[in-house]
Amino acid sequence: MIPCSKNTKHLLVSLSIFLTLVLGSAFAQESANSIPEKHGIDPSKMETSVRPGDDFFEYADDGWLKRTEIPADRGGIGTFTLLDILSNKRTSGLIEEAAKSGGAAGSSSRKIADLYNSFMNEAGIESKGLTPLKPHLDSITAIKTRKDLARALGETLRADVDALNNTNFHTANIFGLWVAPSFNDSEHYTAYLLQGGLQLPDREYYLADTPHMKDIRAKYQQHVSAMLKLAGLTDADARAARVLELEHAIAEKHLSLEENDDIHKANNTWKPADFTTKAPGLDWPEYFRAAGLAKQASFIVWQPTAFAGESALVASTPIDTWKDYLAYHLIEAYAPVLPKAFADERFNFFSQTLSGTPQQRPRAQRGVIVVNNYLGDEIGKIYAKRYFPPEAKAKAREMVTNIIAAFRKRIDGLSWMDPSTKAEAQQKLTTLYVGIGYPETWKDYSAYDVKADDIFGNLWRGNLWELHRQIARLGKQIDRHEWSMTPQTVNAVNLPLQNALNFPAAILQPPFFDAEAPAAANYGGIGSVIGHEISHTFDSEGSAFDSKGRVRDWWKPADFDHFKQATAKLAAQYDTYKPFPDLAINGKQTLAENIADVAGLSAAYDGYKASLNGKPGPSQDGFTDDQQFFIAFAQVEASKSREGSLRQQVATDSHSPSRYRVATVRNLDGWYSAFDVKPGEKLYLAPPDRVVIW
């Protein structure tokens, strides 16, 4: 699957492929190494006895699905996941090189080595026990007044960009900070405040009345109690019940995924004094002082009703309940670097119970995640130099140019769009920055203090370093070429506030991109990703931003009405898909990504045709070039998931599962002619029913 993060961050940083930087099991490692040296589509993955018009996902991928097992340490696996495994294996090698070589104190290699080795020092972690955590638990115990509580909540504020991949911040703080170009002043960074404070993936995990969700909540309460007991807290069962009750109350105040999508409703500028009148209950001056934001003149509050509701809970909920809440969230956040019993209990609930993953990844692989999260650019410099040659960058740039040209042509050909709307759409393409492979500037980690024997402190200081780095940017001129990910990330991103795209080096490799493959396979693979990201510039959310990244209504009303009618038709199409008898795709929740899929694939197809300069494309293994294009698209989407993981995706993600993303081919006329799809076949849509966005 290629999930692209939505929720709050999706509106601002829409990911084509949201992958946690992880390594797989021995099985997955072997699979990564055994990716065939075949350039182009892979017929061995197919099941040609299935009619393409009945189930294109199974036609292109069922051979792979039947012979592929999900590794014990994963909730699912996909074709592209093997590329992610390969990228992380390379990253692991770079980290191990640094760990062995060391380097001068304060050097990049020394920081990498010290961070990785501090995580790998299990004996040292066990010997310290709860000692690193104790001062922080003691400060929570010392809370006596509502002002103390406000200070404690402010001190736990973090600016974790990755946390924005969810509607809530998984921290002890009930709110989250995100620093980005302002909706209203796209030339300067501002502070966005967002709803937070939940540990489960989404509000529906607290509010849904289904047997499955009730069972999850019961097991979550048991998990909270177990973590509190491990930390030596008394009366853990009662404390856990209070924590769950408070999180349930917070969830009731949160906006749903669907409600959270309206940029215009999110654009609420509050001055510090407004918080006391619009969201009474929390001592806001003390909160901002403790968070390091006392000098900030204004904030954009994404979910005003959530802020009012959660602030009221600060006043109405007993202080002792808040102390239990803070203690639990602190323990949970740092469980991976506490003694093994904590990490195991965390894995047992969040991976086994929620996702159905039976086995935890080896510690060395988890160490790679830590280094990537805290020193990602330092590793990225080495990765880009070693694994991304200039020739690959040039070829990828050529594909981007062709697909952008296809979008231009499509926009020009729209009979329903007013010339003024077209002009701004074209201007968005003109000013679009496309980063290929790696950023032009790198993060400076010189102020991040890493110690070889202090993994808890390394993470604590790393989180504070990132908070201070983000706060220091407030009010400053933006860098439109800034990247939001590292070169070693198998991912792609659209940044509407910067009007920019990033395609890291790690995704520009087979099976997505292969300089020796036929153009049809590359355009169907990485080309569909490129088209997907470009299309986010004009989708149901990207269309709210103009060519400078400002939130501005640049559409003529009649144009937008037409656009909404077409996208509503696509939402209705996806509402009919049911991965489980009791669970259907939410067409509105997944709308932006579904728009990007159909529009991006259409533009990639046009870009491919243009690249031929009127000449026919070569066939491969008996498949025409058009067939190769669509098969390549379906094969990079191949995936299979455990039930728990798939249910979580359907409930919380903006992306449809891969099977249904592949089904978007039924909206493209070229697919019908390529495979001679006829009425009566399951995916067949009559021409008037096919959704054409651009």
Sheet with 14-15: list strands edge to edge: 14-15, 493-495, 500-504, 433-437
pLDDT per position as a tens digit, 404-420: 999 999 999 999 999 99
pLDDT for 310 equals 96
Which residue intervals of the chain bear CATH 3.40.390.10?
7-92+390-440+484-689
pLDDT for 173 equals 79
**Quick one: average pLDDT of 153-167?**
61
Task: Give backbone dihedrals phi and psi of 682, rounded to 5 degrees, phi first.
Answer: -65, -35
In terms of DSSP bridges, do strands 299-301 and 189-195 run parallel, antiparallel, or are they unpaired?
A: parallel
Looking up tokens 């090698």 gives: 93
Residue 27 has pLDDT above 60, yes or no: no
- CATH class of the domain at 7-92+390-440+484-689: alpha beta
Residue 166 has pLDDT above 60, yes or no: no
Quick one: which of 314, 330, 306 has its CA closest to 194? 306
The CB-side HSE value for 651 (13 A sphere, CA atoms) comes to 23
Indicate the SS3 state at residue 255. Answer: coil
Residue 32 has pLDDT above 90, yes or no: no
Task: Give backbone dihedrals phi and psi of 623, rounded to 5 degrees, phi first.
Answer: -105, 135
Indicate the SS3 state at residue 18. Answer: coil
pLDDT for 232 equals 96
pLDDT per position as a tens digit, 488-538: 998 898 999 999 999 999 999 888 999 889 999 999 999 999 999 999 988
pLDDT per position as a tens digit, 83-92: 888 888 999 9
Indicate the SS3 state at residue 500. Answer: strand
Contact between residue 177 and residue 473 where contact means Cβ atoms under 8 Å apart: no
pLDDT for 172 equals 56
Show the tokens assigned to 91.
Answer: 């990253």
What end-to-end distance do the CA atoms of the chain give, in Å? 24
pLDDT per position as a tens digit, 438-482: 999 999 999 999 999 999 999 999 999 999 999 999 999 999 999
Radius of gyration, CA atoms only, the chain: 25
Q: How far apart are CA 467 and CA 520, in angstroms?
A: 44
In terms of DSSP bridges, do strands 433-437 and 500-504 run parallel, antiparallel, or are they unpaired?
A: parallel
How far, CA to CA in Å, does 456 sit from each of 131, 156, 215, 351, 374? Answer: 10, 15, 33, 22, 13
pLDDT for 204 equals 92
pLDDT per position as a tens digit, 68-121: 999 888 888 997 788 888 888 999 999 988 878 878 888 899 999 999 999 999
Task: Give backbone dihedrals phi and psi of 359, rounded to 5 degrees, phi first.
Answer: -135, 135
Contact between residue 21 and residue 373 where contact means Cβ atoms under 8 Å apart: yes
User: At 162, is the pLDDT very low, low, confident or very high (cuts 50, 70, 90)?
Assistant: very low
Q: Report CA torsion sign: 330, 331, 332, 338.
A: positive
pLDDT for 37 equals 61
pLDDT for 268 equals 96
pLDDT per position as a tens digit, 573-630: 999 999 999 999 999 999 989 999 999 999 999 999 999 999 999 999 999 999 999 9
How far, CA to CA in Å, does 84 sit from each of 441, 505, 598, 637? Answer: 24, 11, 24, 14
Quick one: which of 383, 336, 307, 291 has its CA closest to 90? 383
pLDDT per position as a tens digit, 353-408: 998 888 898 999 899 999 999 999 999 999 999 999 998 899 899 999 999 999 99
Q: Beta-carbon neighbour count of residue 132 at 10 Å?
A: 18
Distant-in-sequence, close-in-space partners of 670: CB < 8 Å, separation ≥ 6: 605, 626, 629, 630
What's the pTM? 0.87
pLDDT per position as a tens digit, 244-279: 999 999 999 999 887 887 888 899 999 999 999 999
pLDDT per position as a tens digit, 324-359: 999 999 999 999 999 999 999 999 999 999 988 888
In the CATH scheme, what is the homologous superfamily, with its name and number, of domain 133-337? Neutral endopeptidase , domain2 (1.10.1380.10)
Q: Which residue has the higher pLDDT, 8 or 622?
A: 622
pLDDT for 19 equals 29
Residue 2 has pLDDT above 70, yes or no: no
How far, CA to CA in Å, does 536 sit from each of 50, 429, 529? Answer: 33, 12, 11
Q: Report CA torsion sign: 229, 233, 237, 242.
A: negative
Residue 9 has pLDDT above 60, yes or no: no
Average pLDDT, the chain: 89
Q: What angle do CA 294, 298, 304 make, to 5 degrees?
A: 110
Which residue intervals of the chain bear CATH 1.10.1380.10?
133-337
